[in-house]
A and B are shown apart, each in its own frame.
Chain A
Amino acid sequence: MLKLHLRRFAPAAALAVALLVLAACGGEYPNSTFSRHTELNEGAVFLWDRMMLLGTIVFVIVEVLLVYTIFKFRRREGGPGPRQIHGNAALEITWTAIPALILVFIAVPTVRTIFENQRKAPAEALQVEVIGHQWWWEFRYPQYGIVTANELYLPIGKTVNFSLQTRDVLHSFWVPQLGGKRDLIANKVNHIWFTPSASMEPTALNGACVEYCGASHANMRFRTFTVTPAEFERWAAHQKTVAMGSPAAIAAAAAADSAAKAAAKSPVVRAASVVPAVALAPHTDSSSAPEAWVFPAEKIAAYAWPQTPLPATKFDEALLASGDAATGRALLTNPANLGKAPCLTCHVIKGETNYASDDNAKGPNLTHVGSRHTFGAGLYRLDAKSLALWIKNAPAMKPGSQMPTFGAGEYNPAIKAAVPAAAGLDDKQIADIVAYLRSLK
C-alpha cells in the first residue's frame, strides 16, 4: 500500500521541489536575506551556509535511513520475522555524540559572530536615530540636525550607528538586504550598527516593521536609499534647511544676501565666511540654496515603488493641475484655519509657526516632504492624486491611521461618521495644500 502510494506521489513531489528550486533561482528577489552588503550580512550568510550544509547532510541521512527502513523491512508473506534488537549502547552514544560535534561547528562561529556584531560602534560612525510610531518611521540625523520620515539615506562605505526608540508600542527595524533586525522597545534605547559595503551600487531598498504593532503593522514600511558619500552630503545639506517659503527661510535669505554684500565689500574675509554659510545657512533662492538632491526617481527599481491600490475616494482631479502652493501654504499656516486644516498641530514644518515640536509631533516632519518619493510609511507613491486622497480621507487608505479624515462630507471609518461639510476641506483647498506640500522640496 505504502509503496504503491510512494510510487504514485514521488514524481509529483520531485516535480514540486524542482519547481520550487527553479522558482527560487529564477525570479527577482528584492528583499533577499542572502545579499552580502554589510558585515552583519556577511556573518549571517556565513553561518547560514554552514548550517544549511550540515543541516542538509543530517536531513539526507535521516530521510534516506527512514525510507530505506520502510522499504527494506516491510512485512512480506512468509518473510523472516523481526530481528529483536532492543537497544545498542554504542549506537546510541554515537548518535548522541555526532550531533553534539556538529553543534560545536555551529556554536563556535556563532558566539564569535555575536561578539563581533555587538562590539562598540566606531566613534566616527554616522549617527541615525530611528523612532517608531504607529505606523510610520521617523529618522533623525543628529550630526546634521535633520528630522525626516519613512525614507532613510545611508552613505555607502560608512558605518552607520542606529539608536532605536519607540513612541508607542514595540516595533522592529529591518532592511533585509542590509541585515540585522533590531526591536524598538518602549522605555529603552536599542542599538545596532553596520556598514553598507563601499562596493555596493547606490540603490533603493525596501524595509519593514517586523514586530506586530497593531492595525497597520503590514503598512509600516520604509525605503532605504544607499548613496555615495558625496551624494549623501548633498542630500543632507539640503534636508537640514528650513522649509521653502517659510518666514525663517525668507529672513535667512535676506541675512545671507546682506552677508554676501558685506563679503563682496571686504574680499579678505570672504573665504572664511562662505564655508559655514554653505554648510549651515538656509535658503529659498534656488540659485544660492544647496541643490535639492534626492535619490533620482529613474534609478528606483520597480519593486521599491509602492503599488498599493488607491481607494474609491472621489476627487476632482482637474483641480490638481491648478493647485496653488501659496494659497495652500496660507491654509496651513494661518491660525484662523486651524479648525479646518490643523496640519501643524501634528506635523512640523521647520521655519513655520508650529504647534507641535519634533518630540511630540504625532505625524511625520513635512519640512521637505516634496523631496520624498513615497508617503504613508512607504505605502503610496508621492504624487498629487495619492496625496490629495490621503488628505481627504487617510483612514480609508491606511487602517487605523491616526491622521483624521479632512475631506468635507467624507466618511471617516475610524469614528464611523462623516465630516460635516462646513468643517471639512473641499477639493479645491486640498489641491492647494497638495501643491504646497509638493513644493516643499
Chain B
Amino acid sequence: MASHAIPTHASAASPSSEQTGLWSWLTTVDHKRIGILYLYTALFYLLVGGLEALLIRTQLAKPNLHVVSAETYNQLFTMHGTTMVFLVVMPLSAAFFNYLIPLQIGARDVAFPRLNAFSYWVYALGGLFITLPIFFGLAPNGGWFGYAPLSGPTYGGGFNMDFWVLGLQILGISSLAAAFNFITTIINLRAPGMTLMRMPMFTWMSFVVQFLIVLAFPVITAALFFLQFDRFFGTQFYEVSAGGDPLLWQHLFWVFGHPEVYILILPAFGLVSEVLPTHSRKPLFGYNVMAYSGIMIGFLGFGVWAHHMFAVGMGPVADSIFSVATMLIGIPTGVKIFNWIATMYGGSLRFPTSMKFAIGLIAMFTIGGISGVMHSSPPSDLQQTDTYFVVAHFHYVLYGGAIMGIFAGIYHYFPKITGRFMSEKIGSWHFWLNFIGLNLTFFPMHFSGMLGMPRRIYTYDAGQGWDLFNLMSTTGTYMLMIAGLVFAYNFFSSRQRGAAAGNDPWGAPTLEWSIPSPPPEYNFAQIPEVASRYPMWDLKAPDRTEGIAHSHADAATIADAHAVPVHEETERRSAKELGIPMPFPTIKPFMVALGILILFSGLIVLHAGHFALAMATMLGGAAFMVGSLYAWLTSPLE
C-alpha cells in the first residue's frame, strides 16, 4: 500500500527482541520493557489494594462485626488509599507514559533511558518498602492523608508511620525523575513535523500531568521532610506541645493532594481520547478545546486545595474563594464530557471492550463530577465531608474515571504491546461485571453518607439505618473482585493464545499504529515525518481528516514524502543490522535505587534505637548509591 514501506519481515507475535531472562529485565533501558514492568507491578498492587478493600468491606458488611481488629482495619484503609493512589493508578499511568509517549511522538526512546529505568526501580523498591510491613502488623495506620499530629512521634510513635513517610519520599523521587524525563522527551524528541498541536491527545494530557507532578510533588516532599524530621530528629514543625501547627500539614498536603487527583485522572482522559475517535471513525471533536481544557484543569487544580478543609474553620472569605474556584473546575471538565459525546455523535461506532470502558468512563465520571460540584458548596459540604458520600464521590472519579479509562487503554493497546488481541467475549464479561459491581459498591455509599455514616470507622452500631447500604456495597466489592479475576484470566490467556493482531488492528489514526506489534526495540526503523494529527488516517481513510487544522493531508501530500512510512514487516531486523544506535542495558540504575532504599531503611533502624547500626546502614546506602551513580554517569549511554 505505502510506497515507503520498509521491507522487513516478522511474525506478528514474536517478542520484541532476543532479550529474555531476569537479568535482561533488571538491566533494561528500553522504554517499552520498562512500561511493561510498570504495568505488571501496578496490576499486582491493584490486586493487593483490591484485597485490602475486600477485607475493609467484609468488616463493614454488617454492624458490629469484628472480622479484623480496629488496629488492623486502620492499617488496611490507610494502605488501601496509599496503595491505590501511589502504587496503582499513578504507575498504571506511568506504564502508558513509558510505552506510548515515544511511540506517539515518533521517537526511539525517552530522553533519558537510564533515568527511566531508575524511576521504575525506585517505584518498585519503594512499593515493597511501604507494603511489606503489613505482614508484621506495622503497616501505616494514620490514613493516606497522614494528618498531623496523629502521624507525628507523639501520637503515632510506632514504626507504622515511619514506613509511610519514608515510603512516600522514595516514591516521590520516582515520580519526579519520571516527570522530568517525559517533559524533556515530549519537548525534544518529537519527530519532524510533530508540532504540539499535532500531538495525540494522550501525549497532550501526559504532558500536562508531568508539569502537575513537577509542581505538586515538591510540596509534599517538603511537608514530608518536616514530618520526617519531627519523627526522627526531634524537630517540632507539627509538634503540638511546642506550638506546632497541624494545619500547616493540611495545607501542604492538599496543595499536593488536589493536583494529585488530576495527576490520576488526566492520563485516563487521554487514553479515552484515543479510544473514542478510533472506534467512532471520526477525529476527536474540538481537539484544541480538549487540549486547553486539560491545561485549564491542571492550572485550576492548584487553586482549590482548601476545599478539602471546609470543616477546619478557615473563615467565610477563604471558604468562599475556594468554593467558587472549585466550581470553576467543573467547566473545563464538563467541556471534555460533551466533546467526547460529540466525537461519537455522527460517527460509525463499534464497541470492542476498550470502547465499552471508554463510554463507561464518560457515564460514571459524570456522576463523580456532579457530586464533586455538590462538595464545592461549603454549607452543604459540611454535611458530607468525612462521610461515605465523599467515599462515593471520589470512587466514581477514581474507579469510574481513572480505572475505567486505564482498562480502556489496556484493552486498546494490548494488541500493540503483545501482538495479540484480548478476548472480546471475556472482555465483555469483565466490563459488565465491573460496571455493575462498581455501581453496586459505590452508589449506595451516597445514601449511607447522606444518612450520616462517617468515613474511616472500623465498625458501626446497629439501628442507624445504614445496614442495607453497607451490605450492598460489600456485595458489589466481591463482584469487583470477580471482575478483576476475569480480567486477569483474559490478560494472561490472551497473552499466550490471543488471535494475532497486525500493525493496526483497530484502524487507529496515530503513529504508534504504523509500526509492528509488538514494536521492535528501535520502534521506528526510519523516523517518520509528520504532516498531520492523524497520519495513519491520512494514509488509510483520508476522508476523515480533510480540513483538520494543523494538518495538510490532501491526496497529493500523502503520496508525497510527508506521509508516514508504514512498516509492513515480514522479518524482524535488529537495531544493529539497521545501524541504529541503542542504549546499552545496565544494572546501575537499579543499584542506585537500591542504595536509596538502604539509605532510607537506616532511619527505621535508628528508630529501633540501634544508633551505630543505623549510621552504618545509612552511610553504606549513601556510599552504594553515590558509587553506583558515579559508575552510571561515567559509562557511555550507547
Contacts of B287 in A (CB 8 A): 86-87
Report yes or no: B320 in contact with A209, Cβ–Cβ below 8 A.
no
Q: With both chains docked as a complex, state the minimum distance between the C-beta of A260 and any C-beta of chain B, in angstroms.
A: 47
Residue of B284, B363, B465 contacting most chain A CB atoms (<10 Å): B465
Question: What per-residue 1/0 map shows which CB atoms of A72-93 lie under 8 Å from chain B?
Answer: 0111000111111111100110
Does A415 belong to the interface (CB within 8 Å)?
no
Chain A residues within 8 Å of B384, by CB: 33
Within the assembled complex, what's the spacing in Å between the Cα atoms of A410 and B240?
35
B436 at interface by CB-CB < 8 Å: yes
Contact of A187 among B240, B436, B439 (CB under 8 A): B240
Is residue B23 contacting chain A, with contact meaning CB distance below 8 A?
no
| Candidate in A91, A111, A213 with the most chain B CB atoms within 10 angstroms | A111
- B349 and A74: CB pair below 8 A? yes
Provide the B429-451 mask, 1 if CB < 8 A to any CB of A, else 0. Answer: 00010001001100110010011
Q: Does A34 contact B (CB under 8 A)?
A: yes
Among B155, B327, B378, contact of A169 (Cβ-Cβ < 8 Å):
B155
Question: What are the interface flags for B512-546 relative to A under an 8 Å C-beta threshold, 1 for contact and 0 otherwise?
Answer: 00000000000000000000000000000001101
Q: Are B344 and A73 in contact (CB under 8 A)?
A: yes
Distance of A28 Cα from B386 Cα, bound (Å): 22
Residues from chain B with Cβ under 8 Å of A73 in the complex = 280, 344-349
Chain A residues closer than 8 Å to B284, beta-carbon distance: 86
Q: Which residue of B lies closest to A115 (CB)?
A: B316
**Are A31 and B451 also in contact (CB < 8 A) when A103-B328, A169-B149, A181-B386 are?**
yes
Q: Is the CB of A51 within 8 A of B320?
A: no
Q: Are B459 and A186 in contact (CB under 8 A)?
A: no
Contact across chains for A29 and B548 when beta carbons are under 8 A apart: no
Inter-subunit contact A20/B443 (CB<8 Å) = yes
As a 0/1 sequence over residues 90 to 123 of chain A, the CB contacts with chain B under 8 angstroms (1 = contact) are 0110011001100100110011011101100000
**Which residues of chain A come closer than 8 Å to B444, judged between CB atoms?**
20
B350 and A74 form a contact (CB under 8 A): yes
Determine whether the beta carbon of B459 is less than 8 Å from that of A190.
no
Please tell me if the beta carbons of B465 and A75 are within 8 angstroms of each other in the complex.
no
Smallest CB gap from B279: residue in A? A75
Our pick among B313, B436, B450 for the contact of A32 (Cβ within 8 Å) is B450
- Residues from chain B with Cβ under 8 Å of A214 in the complex: 74, 150, 155
CB distance B246 to A62 under 8 Å? no
Contacts of A361 in B (CB 8 A): none
| Shortest beta-carbon distance from B544 to chain A in Å | 6
- With both chains docked as a complex, state the minimum distance between the C-beta of A16 and any C-beta of chain B, in angstroms: 7
Answer yes or no: B387 CB below 8 A from chain A CBs: yes
CB distance from B526 to the nearest CB of A (A): 29
- Per-residue A-contact encoding for B284-312, CB less than 8 Å = 1, 0 else: 11111100000000000000000000011
Contact mask A11-31 → B, CB, 8 Å, 1/0? 011001000100110011111
Contact A218 B335 (CB under 8 A): no
Is B282 an interface position by the 8 A CB rule? yes
Q: Which of A39-47, A124-132, A433-441 contacts B (4 or more CB under 8 A)?
A: A39-47
Q: Which of B149, B428, B452, B458 makes the CB contact (< 8 A) with A33?
A: B452
A1 B334 Cβ-Cβ under 8 A: no
Which listed residue (B331, B370, B452, B463) contacts A55, Cβ 8 A?
B370
B324 within 8 A of A: yes
Q: Let me know if B69 is at the binding interface, CB within 8 A.
A: yes
Q: For chain A, which range describes its interface: under 10, 10 to 19, 20 to 34, or 35 or more residues?
A: 35 or more
**Distance, CA A1 to CA B288, complexed state (A):** 33
- Chain B stretch 143-174: residues in CB contact (< 8 A) with chain A: 143, 147, 149-150, 155
Decide: B377 and A51 in contact? CB cutoff 8 A.
yes
A174 to B449 Cα, complex, angstroms:
13
- A435 nearest CB across to chain B (Å): 28
Q: Which of chain B's residues have a CB closer than 8 A to the CB of A33?
A: 383-384, 387, 450-452
Question: Is B499 on the interface with A (CB-CB < 8 A)?
Answer: no
When distances are taken between beta carbons in the complex, the residues of chain A under 8 Å from B337 are 62
Q: How many A-B residue pairs have CB under 8 A?
A: 324
A368 to B282, CA, bound (A): 75
Known: A69-B345, A214-B150. A118 touches B319 (CB 8 A): yes
Known: A1-B428, A40-B379, A182-B313. A91 touches B71 (CB 8 A): no
Q: Say if the beta carbon of B243 comes within 8 Å of chain A.
A: yes
Distance between Cα atoms of A104 and B327 in the complex (Å): 9
- A75 adjacent to B350 (CB under 8 Å): yes
| Complexed CA–CA distance, A27 and B451 (Å) | 11
Do residues A106 and B335 form an inter-chain contact, with CB atoms below 8 A? no
**Residue of chain A at shortest CB distance from B547:** A86
B37 interfacial contact with A, CB 8 Å: no
Instruction: Judge if B380 is at the interface, Cβ distance under 8 Å.
Output: yes
The CA-CA distance from A206 to B454 in the complex, in Å, is: 12
Q: Among the listed A177, A210, A307, which residue makes an inter-chain contact with B454, where contact means beta carbons less than 8 Å apart?
A: A210
The answer to whether the Cβ of A211 comes within 8 Å of any Cβ in the partner chain is yes
CB under 8 Å from chain B, chain A span 34-67:
34, 40-41, 43-44, 47-48, 51-52, 55, 58-59, 62-63, 65-66
Chain A nearest CB, measured from B139 CB (Å) = 14
Q: Report the minimum CB–CB distance from B346 to chain A (whole Å).
A: 4
Residue on B with the closest CB to A67?
B363
- Given known contacts A32-B452, A44-B379, A83-B346, is B150 in contact with A218 (CB within 8 Å)? no
Taking a contact as CB atoms closer than 8 A, the residue among B150, B350, B363 that contacts A212 in the complex is B150
Cα of A171 to Cα of B24 in the assembled complex, Å: 51
**Which residues of the partner chain B approach A5 to less than 8 Å between Cβ atoms?**
428, 432
Measured between beta carbons, the chain A residues less than 8 angstroms from B74 are: 212, 214-215, 217
* A309 in contact (CB, < 8 A): yes
- Cβ–Cβ contact A179 & B382, under 8 A: yes
Chain A residues with CB under 8 Å of B272's CB are none
What residue of chain B has the Cβ atom nearest to residue A4's Cβ? B428
Closest B residue to A79 by CB, please name it: B348
Cβ contacts under 8 Å, B328 to chain A = 103
Task: List chain A residues, Cβ under 8 A from B324.
Answer: 107, 110-111
In the bound assembly, the distance between CA atoms of A29 and B469 in angstroms comes to: 12
B128 within 8 A of A: no
- Could you tell me if A114 and B323 are in contact, using CB atoms closer than 8 angstroms? yes
Q: Which residues of A contact B544 (CB under 8 A)?
A: 82, 84
Q: Which of B93-124 contact A (CB under 8 A)?
A: none
Query: Nearest Cβ in chain A — how far from B306, in angstroms?
Result: 13
Q: Give complex CA distance A58, B444 in Å.
A: 20
In the complex, A362 has a CB within 8 A of chain B: no
Q: Does the CB pair B366–A63 fall under 8 Å?
A: yes
Task: Give bound CA distance, A219 to B457, whole Å.
Answer: 8
Return the contact of A217 from the options B155, B335, B456 (Cβ within 8 A).
B456
Residues B322-339 near A (CB distance < 8 A): 323-324, 327-328, 330-331, 334-335, 337-339
A110's partner among B243, B378, B439, B465 (CB-CB below 8 A) is B378
Name B65's closest neighbour in chain A (CB-CB). Answer: A309
Report if B2 contacts A (CB, 8 A): no
- Docked complex Cα distance between A147 and B457 (Å): 28
Contact at A400–B315, with CB atoms within 8 Å? Answer: no
The CA of A118 and the CA of B378, in the complex, are separated in Å by 11
Nearest CB in chain B to that of A212: its residue: B456
**Once the chains bind, are B311 and A86 in contact (CB under 8 Å)?**
no
- CB B357 to nearest CB in A, in angstroms, measures 12
Q: Which residues of B contact A307 (CB under 8 A)?
A: 63-64, 461-463
14 more A-B contacts (CB under 8 A) besides A1-B428, A100-B331? A9-B436, A23-B468, A69-B349, A83-B347, A86-B282, A92-B338, A103-B328, A169-B150, A181-B382, A187-B240, A188-B247, A209-B454, A212-B142, A221-B461
On A, residues with C-beta under 8 Å from B are 1-2, 5, 9, 12-13, 16, 20, 23-24, 27-34, 40-41, 43-44, 47-48, 51-52, 55, 58-59, 62-63, 65-66, 69-70, 73-75, 79-88, 91-92, 95-96, 99-100, 103, 106-107, 110-111, 113-115, 117-118, 134, 168-170, 172, 174, 176-177, 179-183, 185-188, 190-192, 206, 208-219, 221, 302-303, 306-309, 399-400
Q: 10 nearest interchain CB pairs? A: A31-B452, A218-B457, A176-B452, A399-B70, A83-B346, A29-B465, A210-B386, A186-B240, A33-B383, A55-B370
**Chain A to chain B contacts (Cβ below 8 Å), 12 pairs:** A62-B337, A79-B348, A107-B327, A110-B324, A117-B379, A174-B386, A181-B386, A182-B313, A190-B313, A192-B313, A208-B454, A217-B457
